[in-house]
Amino acid sequence: MKALLFLLEKEFRQVFRNPAILRILFILPVIQLLLLPLAADYEVKNVKICVVDYDRSPASQRLVHKITSTAYFKLVDFTDSYAKALQYVEYDKADLILQIPAAFEKNLVRENTSTLFIAINAVNGVKANLGGAYLRSVIQDFNQELQTELIQLPRQNLHPVISIASSNWYNPLMSYRLFMVPGIQVLLITIVGAFLSAINIVNEKETGTLEQINVTPIRKYQFVLGKLIPFWVLGLVVLTIGLFISWLIYDIVPVGSLVTIYVFSALYLIAVLGLGLLVSTFASTQQQSMLISLFLMMIFILLGGLFTSIESMPPWAQAFTRFNPISYFIDVMRMVVLKGSTLYDIRDHLFKILLFGLALNSLAIWNYRKRS
């Protein structure tokens, strides 16, 4: 223990003497938590729409007014020429075209049915899908209002319309900040655990001190623990900074217990530290370590469920997420922050992340001994 304490003192001194590591540890979390939740917002507003109205009836004008009264749509032009509206799309001045046919109101009154045509600019796939979904929702609501009004007329013999109202559990206002901030905190902890630990160990190889340590009475497990424990502690410090910023800036307070978050984070850091140690056993220089770590982090982050729902991924990607520790931590953070889940609720995640930690650290230590 005495030798391990000396190694820990040495590592902490090296960390706090390195300005670059200090910036990554204390400035990077602040900047990312301030900027990323503002930029990573899937809510699309100001969708540019061009309306082609061949009917010019009160019903069509009412529909147009209902569409433009929302914050999601911005009316570019109100015309009676589809060719002119299509030019707006071609010059990227419009995202949607809504064509209202002639006799729109007459068909609604006489036949109780009518048809609308929607053209969507699919160059920007995300904006096109969301904009089209918004427009269909507004039209469906408009249709519901018309049916209710027709029922109130005595000459109509229609069945009552059932009105369905929905509410969202855990995130009633569907705030993307409440959805994204816990996941971004996972990225910050992962950077500290995997990226910095791998670079720190490879630095010993480049400076030649690794060979000197190997000929000292210090045992290899003491050297490995001396390298990993400081970043394990710093990872929990970064988590604390992230939780504090989330409360101070975004007023996000976990519904569940902070103990649950810290217990899982402690196990998760063991797993990602093992990943960083494994990378360091293959890399000979810091440049190699940075490239390997960046390659792995990009794959794990993109397939971790932060920016894209795992359920919407192809089957092979969903299978990969089972071996992705980031996906488990993102899921746990959202469960605890939004739902108030307990340690019992995340027991499966705890067991799986513990297996990841044992596997990655065992493989890293075995490979380190083999190479040294």
Higher pLDDT, 46 or 371: 46
Percent of the chain predicted with pLDDT > 90: 21
**Which of these, 152, 116, 122, lies nearest to 135 by C-alpha position?**
116
CATH 3.40.1710.10 domain range(s) in the chain: 47-152
Q: For 28-61, what is each residue's pLDDT tens digit?
A: 878 888 888 877 666 677 889 999 999 888 888 8
pLDDT at residue 177, as a whole number: 82
Beta-sheet pairing, 47-53 with 117-120: unpaired
Strand ranges (E), 227-372: none
Q: For 102-134, what is each residue's pLDDT tens digit?
A: 888 888 878 778 889 999 888 876 777 788 888
pLDDT at residue 35, as a whole number: 83
- Stated pTM of the model: 0.76
Identify the weakest region by mean pLDDT among 265-274, 304-313, 356-365: 304-313
pLDDT at residue 266, as a whole number: 94
Q: Binning pLDDT at 50, 70 and 90, where does residue 163 land?
A: low
Residue 51's SS3 state is strand
Percent of the chain predicted with pLDDT > 70: 90
Asked whether the predicted pLDDT for residue 346 surpasses 90, the reply is: yes
pLDDT at residue 42, as a whole number: 65
Residue 74's SS3 state is strand
Q: Which residues pair with 78 in a beta bridge?
A: 51
Higher pLDDT, 368 or 84: 84
Q: For 208-244, what is each residue's pLDDT tens digit?
A: 666 666 667 777 777 778 878 888 998 899 899 999 9
User: What number is the average pLDDT over the span 352-357?
Assistant: 93
CATH number of 47-152: 3.40.1710.10
Going from the C-alpha of 167 to that of each of 21, 174, 179, 261, the distances in angstroms are: 45, 10, 17, 27
Identify the weakest region by mean pLDDT among 29-43, 128-142, 327-341: 29-43
Return the biggest CA–CA distance within the chain. 98
User: What number is the average pLDDT over the span 149-170?
Assistant: 60
Residue 323's SS3 state is coil
Q: For 260-305, what is each residue's pLDDT tens digit?
A: 999 999 999 999 988 888 888 888 788 888 888 888 888 888 888 8
Going from the C-alpha of 16 to that of each of 23, 26, 284, the distances in angstroms are: 10, 11, 24
Residue 145's SS3 state is helix
Q: How would you label 283-293 residue by residue, b for 16+ Cβ within 10 Å and e otherwise?
A: beebeebbebb
Tell me how far apart the alpha carbons of residues 176 and 95 are, in angstroms, rounded to a whole number: 23
